[in-house]
Amino acid sequence: GTTFPALSALLATWVPLKERSKLGSFVFGGGQVGTIVGTALSGVLIDYYDSWESVFYFFGVLAIIWFIIFVFICYKDPESHPFIKEEEKEYLRKEMGSLARDKNIPPTPWRAILTNVPMMALVCAQIGHDFGFFIMATDLPKVQFAFFNIKFIIISIILVHG
């Protein structure tokens, strides 16, 4: 989706260079932590409400709330943000310098990228990883419930704790 490229752009315009690797790791690691917490919470919700629909309602409402907050607090760059103080803007200007695109950079070599065998191997590996990960994350609990009659809360605890 668009989330990870958008996060990269936000980090580039909001986070000073000295802090970028640490904060970038924290932000991108959040996807993995979210998967773990979401799996555990899904089992709890299914067990408590005795309904798989509760998971979709809960995370749907949570996403809507997050979207509303995000629309009000997220801006393209510090200069356009109305809520931060002038001294914060000045600090970011000083720490980050100019964010203008370098005009001397040659155009992206798309043909070389798309015909590069190691690059295509990485793309295939990522697709395989994502396919396996999402199949396991979505179907493993169903199999455990259907064949072993294990309650979803127990399945989520097993998945989270290994």
Q: What is the pLDDT of residues 1-37, one digit of tens each?
A: 577 888 888 898 899 988 999 999 999 888 888 888 8
pLDDT tens-digit profile of 31-63?
A: 888 888 888 888 888 888 988 899 999 999 999
Instruction: Please check the confidence at residue 80 and state whether its pLDDT lies above 60.
Output: yes
137-155 tens-digit pLDDT: 777 767 766 776 667 667 6
pTM value > 0.75: no
Please, are residues 152 and 47 in contact by the beta-carbon 8 Å criterion? Answer: yes
More confident residue, 52 or 131: 131
**How far apart are alpha carbons 56 and 63 in whole angstroms?**
10
| Tokens at 117, concatenated | 């065998």
97 — pLDDT class (breaks 50, 70, 90): confident
Q: What is the pLDDT of residue 155?
A: 66
The answer to whether residues 119 and 6 touch, using CB atoms and an 8 Å cutoff, is no
Token output for 135: 């199949």
| Measured distance CA(134)–CA(143) in Å, rounded | 14
- Residue pair 141/159 in contact (Cβ under 8 Å)? The answer is yes
Spatial contact of 86 and 92, defined as CB atoms under 8 Å apart: no
Q: What is the mean pLDDT of residues 74-85?
A: 89
Please, are residues 38 and 59 in contact by the beta-carbon 8 Å criterion? Answer: yes
Q: Where do the DSSP E strands lie in the chain?
A: none
87 pLDDT tier (thresholds 50, 70, 90): very high
